[in-house]
Amino acid sequence: MISLDLEKIDNSWKRELAKAFKNPSELLEYLELDPQVKSEIAGKPLLKSSFPMLVPQFFADLMKPRDINDPLLLQVLPFSEELTERQDFVLQPLDEQDNFIPVANIVHKYQDRLLFLPKGGCAVNCRYCFRRNFPYEQLGASKQEWVEALNYAYQQHISELILSGGDPLMMTDKEFVWLFNQVLERNQTCTTKIDRIRIHSRLPIVLPQRITAQFIEMCQALASYGIKLIWVSHINHPQEISTLLQEKVQNLTKVGVLVLNQSVLLKGINDSVEVLEELSRKLFQAGILPYYLHLLDKVKGSTHFYLDDVQALELYAQLQTKTSGYLIPKLAREEVGKKHKTLYTA
Ligand SMILES: *Cc1c(COP(=O)(O)O)cnc(C)c1O
Ligand code: SF4
């Protein structure tokens, strides 16, 4: 079993998160932008949203000051364009809520793997998030509910458990130890053996401190039991790859964690072949392999980030002429009712 040294628990990331920017004006002031003037110049008045702004200072420090068009800022700042309605942009684009939740905290829509959503909430609120309207309040937060979710997982003969959310790295190290030990125990007694645990998380991009020394030790211990850990980071722009993040990725790779990246193709953020190429190169330098380039899920409030299939395919075709095959992520889209992503080829 894996153990945790309670005396060495490092919760500094939680304190950082508690201090995150929640007020757009304060963030703009921090970036030396005058909210009134700049929003008028950009023609994009700020919006009060039911999906509030949330930006840790670490992420704000990766933004260029005095630039209202900074690609990191545009991902997190609520603009009135979110009010633009389009019939095909809906509250729940993937229909997860009604059709794929067999028990609380589980989304079962893929073959041979399922998603375990331990809790709602993220360290950053991305304006294009496809789960921005997900009913997180319905997630069970007690250990009993997590036990039931795991019971379901082990009845399903899966081999991979995917931790999703919200952001699964919102779980504390103590909760991770509990979860990992649950898997180790059940693997001994059940016919189902989970041999891969995958974490889909953007949290270390905005708060690399989350990858604590104890978390790395836990990953190492898990590997010693033959369970492979995979972290799919969600990096959309090369500017998001900080020095501290690179250090953390190195530490994780050293203990056998495979780090992959999935980006969302976003108009005005990364919809140029130069940015995509630089992103792939910087990811690789940091020890991260480009995995998916995801077409935007049509969630209400995100029309201004949307590129249609023709534009996306054109860009993808250009990217393929620019760099090595292993630096080209798979272009993919999620389609309701399909048990896998739909891949596009140019
Ligand atoms: C696509 C996706 C998955 C499943 O990924 P595969 O690699 O296709 O199995 C899991 N979680 C999220 C958030 C995804 O976008
Ligand atoms: S981190 Fe991921 S789940 Fe959280 S708001 Fe951003 S896109 Fe959504």
pLDDT of the residue at 199: 98
Q: What is the pLDDT of residues 45-78, one digit of tens each?
A: 777 788 999 999 999 999 999 999 999 999 999 9
* SS3 per-residue string spanning 129-161: CCCCCCCHHHCCCCHHHHHHHHHHHHHCCCCEE
* 106, 110, 167, best to mutate for ligand 1 pocket (most atoms within 8 Å of CB): 110
| Nearest CA residue ID for atom 7, ligand 2 | 129
For residue 54, give the ligand nearest its CA: 2
Question: Cβ(105) to ligand 1 under 6 A?
Answer: no
| Structural domain contains residue 219 | yes
| Structural domain contains residue 141 | yes
Those residues whose C-beta lies under 8 Å from the C-beta of residue 308, and which sit 6 or more positions away, are: none
Examine the domain organization and report whether 75 and 90 are in the same domain.
no
CB 328 within 8 A of CB 273: no
The domain that holds 112 is classified in CATH as: 3.20.20.70
Question: Cβ(202) to ligand 1 under 6 A?
Answer: no
Tell me, in angstroms, the distance from the centre of ligand 1 to residue 107's CA: 11
Examine the domain organization and report whether 67 and 214 are in the same domain.
no
Question: Cβ(233) to ligand 1 under 6 A?
Answer: no
How many domains are there within the chain? 2
| Structural domain contains residue 280 | yes
For residue 126, give the ligand nearest its CA: 2
CB 156 within 8 A of CB 189: no
Question: Cβ(200) to ligand 1 under 6 A?
Answer: yes
Furthest-apart CA atoms within the chain: distance in Å: 64
CB 117 within 8 A of CB 105: yes
Residue that has been written with the tokens 């792939």 in this structure: 280
Examine the domain organization and report whether 75 and 144 are in the same domain.
no
Residue type, 164: S
Q: What is the pLDDT of residues 157-213, one digit of tens each?
A: 899 999 998 899 999 999 999 999 999 999 999 999 999 999 999 999 999 999 999
β-pairing, 160-163 vs 258-264, is unpaired
Examine the domain organization and report whether 76 and 199 are in the same domain.
no
Show the domain range for 99: 86-333
